[in-house]
Structure 1
Amino acid sequence: ERVRAQVSAAAQSLGGTARLPEDLIDEVSNLTEWPCAIACSIPAEYMRLPEAVIVTTIETHQRFFPVLDGAGQLLPSFVGVANIDSKDPNEIRKGYERVVRPRLADAAFFFDQDLKQPLAEHVEALKTVTYQQKLGSLHDKTERVIALARAVAPAVGVDPGLAEAAARLSKADLQTRMVGEFPELQGLMGRHYALAQGQPEAVAVALDEIYAPRQSGVPIAASPLGRVLAIAERLDTLAGIFAVGLKPTGNKDPFALRRAALGLARTLIEGNIRLDLPQILEKAVLGIPAQSLKDYLAKVANNVFQDDTLLGKLADQLTAPAVNELYEFILERTRAYYSEAGITADVFEAVAARRPHDLVDFDQRLKAVLAFKQLPACQSLAAANKRIRNILRKAGESGIDIAAVGGVDESRLHHDAERALYSAIRSAESDTGARFEAGEYVQGLTRLAELQAPVDGFFDGVMVMADEVAVRNNRLALLERLSTLFLRTADISLLAG
């Protein structure tokens, strides 16, 4: 707190407010036993640099604190923290400014030199940079991201041609001098250079937003094109790194795949992007370099392919295990996302059991189950669904093929309670069919809550496993139909306490 207070006071003396990242405050606090804040200035000629460059130079490389004005704009000032209460703070100030000046001069040189070469000219050079030994160069990765971006674009309302143009430049700034010196500025510099070189603003913004969200708790990409690139980039990274056997284990996640999966899930959900996840994951898997794809499919399918031609013919039929592995990994991060938002495990698992292909649809089902859980009928119907699942499972284990039984035969409904339940099911099916098709799960489940009374009446008055085979099978078919109706949204049986 001493560091925070002193830096804030020094910034106020400069007419502004200090940027106070918690990690930087902690680091400086640990480095200084007797902190003394020193107000310093930045030479005016360097204020033309992008703000991110100046901030990175001052914060990351020198552990100083930039100063902002009332509008949040960078002032030509910073605050350094000395580990001594000097009698001559002016000398310390000069020393700090002397250290910062050459760093900013270097940055200005890199910036000016980079502006002389269009980003597009850097794309070819990406062929010389290895992304991952088994996944090829950064140019190879760029081509895969282009294909995925074109596939994702329609779901976000973006022109595929524009998505391709942006994706093609998405790694170009990695070849610039500035990013070579300040790797943490990747994307940000792509944005600045693209704007300066006359690229469409949407493309420039997307070159930065491809990395959004860069960390947890920060917003997803704001622009549609940025969201397309963010999704495509993460899809390729997940599919590729899984394919070469480097998926996370325990606390080890060198390629930050957990963060990539969470960023993908957040972008789809918070961006309200309807995308068939298994389908696009399959495209990502099939885009992997041939040998790595062969090895991956052989591994997940527990098979060995001696004939590459045969593999090529069957590849699209053999991706299911790989797609499932990736889907489950993304679902696991989605589980963590909702858990952090206060969603209980039973609600999440009830929806996950249905394996929705679309995470926006998943989110809508989740909200419906949350609303259903608040209804008085919830626990009774959850318990009934659990009982039904057990009855149907045991019937199957005993050799009864419920599918072969066919539908419910109304003439075999002998008890008033089963006739009442059948009538209630038919009415509910009629009322909810269109709602479920439209994704109106809250309204649909609320209507199904009205089934509590006939369901309770059925179990109170009817013996399902009757001695007469035809009657028994008819009642099993009735319960199967009821279970299927609830499963239009989620596995409600998992809500049973």
Structure 2
Amino acid sequence: MMKHTFLVEIGTEELPSKDLRALGEAFSAHIASELDIAKIHHGEIKWFATPLRLAVKITSLSNTQSCYNIEKRGPAISKSFDSYGRPTKEAESWARSCGITLNQATRRMIGKKEWLVYCSKIKGEKVKNLLCNIIIRAIEKLPITKMMQWNNCEVQFIRPVHSIAMLLDNDVVVGNILGIKTDRVIYGHRFMGKRKIILNHANEYPKILLDHGRVMADYLKRKEIIRKSVETVAKQLGGIVNLNENLLEEVTSLVEWPVVLSARFEEKFLSVPIDVLIYTMQNSQKYFPVYDSSKGSLLPYFIFVANIESKKPKKIIAGNEKVIRSRLADAKFFFTTDRKKKLQDYLPRLNTIVFQNQLGSLRDKSKRIETLAAWIADKIGANISQASRAGLLSKCDLVTNMVSEFSEMQGIIGMHYARYDGESEEVALAQKEQYQPQFFGDLLPTTLVSCSVSIADKMDTLVGIFGTGYSPKGDKDPFALRRAALGVLRIIIEKKLFLDLEILTKQAVQLFGKKLAHTTFLIKKIIDFILSRFFFWYQEKGYNVDVIQAVLSCHSTVPTDLDARIRAINSFCMLKEAKSLVLVNKRISKILIKSSNLISNKNINFSLFKKPEEIKLAICFIRLQKTLKPLLESGRYQDALKELLSIDKPVNFFFERITIMSDDFEIRTNRIFLLKKLQELILKIADISFLQI
């Protein structure tokens, strides 16, 4: 069978840099998937991506599809022919849909019935005839959230498309994709090399683009060239770079021919907090800051990546120095202006910023955070006065000039200003760490004071927004309540803080005073929402749904306790003996359901137990009550579950040799009540009836 090389390149206008790699990888993955579905054998699939193109090259592509069999079952024979052997309308309709006559159908026994079956071997088509539709389907599956239209046509794509090159070896695969006829033309760099390039063979890609078009189409190679060049230039400047992977990816997505250059800025700007300088260079200008290799401090240099090889690089360097000088001058001005006041002096201005129409201003919110953070600090052993102070100042930097200009500096600049004001380090650090974690997998606050403020801030938002009658629906969550709930859970569980969500929520609700109705329903709604995030979080961590459900059914509202129970149940499920306890529990449950009318709240009457099997079970119950109590109180659920395994034999002997439904009413109800009390011991850990072992 002949093997071919296939190439497709979509030439576009500037693609979004933050999505470029994902688009390139997805294009390749979807083409591979479509080839597999079409039963087309192929070799290596390689993707390429630059700001102006997406491409995929496939080697060792088969000439034709693999042959395949199809099988289509029709109606049962009993429904295909009447009592005289004449075909029914149902059978004839099925045969027509298959393009055959009933005489051409096969009869086959499937189960206990005989059925009509259509079997056929389909000969594979030529791959060249299938490629256009495969590419169209792959494009349709690309992860594009916002589409664009151009030239008054109905075609949509992430950016306007100018060319589609599609070759199978040296032949153009004829078709129309995204409103453009396929061709063998690709385009080089806009300002260097050959602009229009004719591809004679798919194998020429991407080398011809590199040699004649001055375009490095290979994304990963381009990224590595930039990485190594930036590190080399930093070393030449007597420093190092802490390469931010996100920035490196974005810069790679912005250039087709990377040229790494360095420039400098005036040392006077080093008086501005380092975070502001780094933010300005990285986020605003896509520059790489340079650090002193020994001290770790910032040097007055930066490295940038140009998209052109200029004969006068000094002009490019001077232009970038002019831009950064202007940006840093603004930052220095804002910083100097802000520093004329202390952080606490900005408190009155918070009255002018509305947090939410029904919930008051940011000043109101900061008062609530101040009080709640102090309450939390008391519960978790943090410094109460520092937590209170940090909560009071927590929103002050939002009305500074620096945050007004650089919004992503909120919290960070508050930390620096607090330090300049002489606040304690824990109070200053809490200004920054109150927002952590900001996303799944983000760092947590490092101190207990920071934890107190962060939890207080998130709980205030959760309670306040839920109290106004709003809750997230579908993918709409403008107040980021899901993120806030997960943040609260992560801090409590990963920092091993003993906080009860029910008590915490009640405390947060009370601080809103008359702004919220202090209803039991509101508190329950908030707790249920937080625990729903717990459910999804532990699913993400790899725990089985039945394990999580078994634990949540015990209605604990202490996150660290829930975590301990889940770990215990998960380990318990791996024990060989676990299944027997689950079966015992299910058997007890069935008896209790059938005898629900006989269950009362009276105590067990041990004097009514006469037979050895019920006496042994009663003794086992008494022993377990004493043994389990300290284990449950200390959260040693794994040890408690191992102790519960001891009821297996006594319960089974009890079931085998004791007639539970005795004619004597007192004996009958006493035996049932013993089983109820045994089940209650199990339920103190989790409802193991959920477990699928």
1 or 2, which has the higher helix percentage?
Answer: 1
**Equivalent of 2:599 in 402, 427, 440:** 402
RMSD: 2.1
Separation of aligned partners in 2, 1:356 and 1:447 = 21
Superposition pairs for residues 213-252 of structure 1, below 5 Å? 213-252=437-476
Asked if 1 retains the 8 angstrom alpha-carbon contact of 2:598 and 2:669, the reply is no
Separation of aligned partners in 2, 1:136 and 1:24 = 38
What is the Cα deviation at residue 179 of structure 1?
0.9
Aligned twin of 2:301: 77
Separation of aligned partners in 2, 1:217 and 1:69 = 29
| Contiguous gaps of at least 5 residues in structure 2 | 1-219
Cα 1:51/1:459, change in 2 over 3 Å: farther
Asked if 2 retains the 8 angstrom alpha-carbon contact of 1:269 and 1:359, the reply is yes
What is the Cα deviation at residue 336 of structure 1?
2.7
**Equivalent of 2:381 in 142, 157, 175:** 157
What is the Cα deviation at residue 391 of structure 1?
2.9
Aligned twin of 2:526: 326
Aligned twin of 1:3: 223
Asked if 2 retains the 8 angstrom alpha-carbon contact of 1:149 and 1:232, the reply is yes
Asked if 1 retains the 8 angstrom alpha-carbon contact of 2:226 and 2:252, the reply is no
- Secondary structure of the residue aligned to 2:557 is coil
Moved more, 200-209 or 381-390: 381-390
What is the Cα deviation at residue 412 of structure 1?
3.2
Cα 1:390/1:36, change in 2 over 3 Å: farther
Cα 1:89/1:460, change in 2 over 3 Å: farther
Q: Deviations over 1:151-206 (max 9, x none)?
A: 21111212433322211111111111111111111111111111111111121111
Aligned twin of 1:350: 550
Higher relative contact order (CA 8 A, sep 6+): 1
Q: Deviations over 1:115-157 (max 9, x none)?
A: 1100111011100111111111000111111221122111121
What is the Cα deviation at residue 428 of structure 1?
1.4
Separation of aligned partners in 2, 1:95 and 1:414 = 98
Asked if 2 retains the 8 angstrom alpha-carbon contact of 1:383 and 1:496, the reply is no
Aligned: 1:142 with 2:370 = no
Aligned: 1:54 with 2:277 = yes
Q: Deviations over 1:342-366 (max 9, x none)?
A: 2222222222111212212222222
Aligned twin of 2:650: 454
- Secondary structure of the residue aligned to 2:595 is helix
Aligned twin of 2:353: 129
Aligned twin of 1:300: none
Query: What percent identity do the matched residue pairs reach?
Result: 38
Aligned twin of 2:680: 484
**Equivalent of 1:40 in 250, 263, 277:** 263
Q: Deviations over 1:212-245 (max 9, x none)?
A: 1222212211111111101110110100111223
- Secondary structure of the residue aligned to 2:372 is helix
Superposition pairs for residues 258-407 of structure 1, below 5 Å? 258-288=482-512, 290-291=514-515, 293-294=516-517, 315=518, 319-396=519-596, 400-404=597-601, 406-407=602-603
Aligned: 1:434 with 2:654 = no
What is the Cα deviation at residue 337 of structure 1?
2.6
What is the Cα deviation at residue 466 of structure 1?
4.3
What is the Cα deviation at residue 415 of structure 1?
4.1
What is the Cα deviation at residue 414 of structure 1?
4.6
Aligned twin of 1:205: 429
Moved more, 367-376 or 96-105: 367-376
- Secondary structure of the residue aligned to 1:37 is strand
Separation of aligned partners in 2, 1:409 and 1:156 = 44
Q: Deviations over 1:309-351 (max 9, x none)?
A: xxxxxx4xxx221111111111122223322322222222222
Separation of aligned partners in 2, 1:191 and 1:114 = 13
Separation of aligned partners in 2, 1:108 and 1:401 = 79
Moved more, 413-422 or 485-494: 413-422
- Secondary structure of the residue aligned to 1:66 is strand
Amino acid at match of 1:23: N
Higher Cα radius of gyration: 2
Separation of aligned partners in 2, 1:333 and 1:459 = 41
Amino acid at match of 2:225: A
- Secondary structure of the residue aligned to 1:225 is helix
Amino acid at match of 1:273: L
Asked if 1 retains the 8 angstrom alpha-carbon contact of 2:234 and 2:303, the reply is no
What is the Cα deviation at residue 289 of structure 1?
5.5
Aligned twin of 2:336: 112
Moved more, 7-16 or 255-264: 7-16
What is the Cα deviation at residue 467 of structure 1?
4.7
Q: Deviations over 1:385-432 (max 9, x none)?
A: 133233323433xxx15134x222234335433322221111111222
Aligned twin of 2:254: 31
- Secondary structure of the residue aligned to 2:230 is helix
Aligned length: 469
TM-score by length of 2: 0.65
Separation of aligned partners in 2, 1:472 and 1:90 = 97
Cα 1:31/1:416, change in 2 over 3 Å: same
Asked if 1 retains the 8 angstrom alpha-carbon contact of 2:578 and 2:645, the reply is yes
Separation of aligned partners in 2, 1:391 and 1:189 = 64
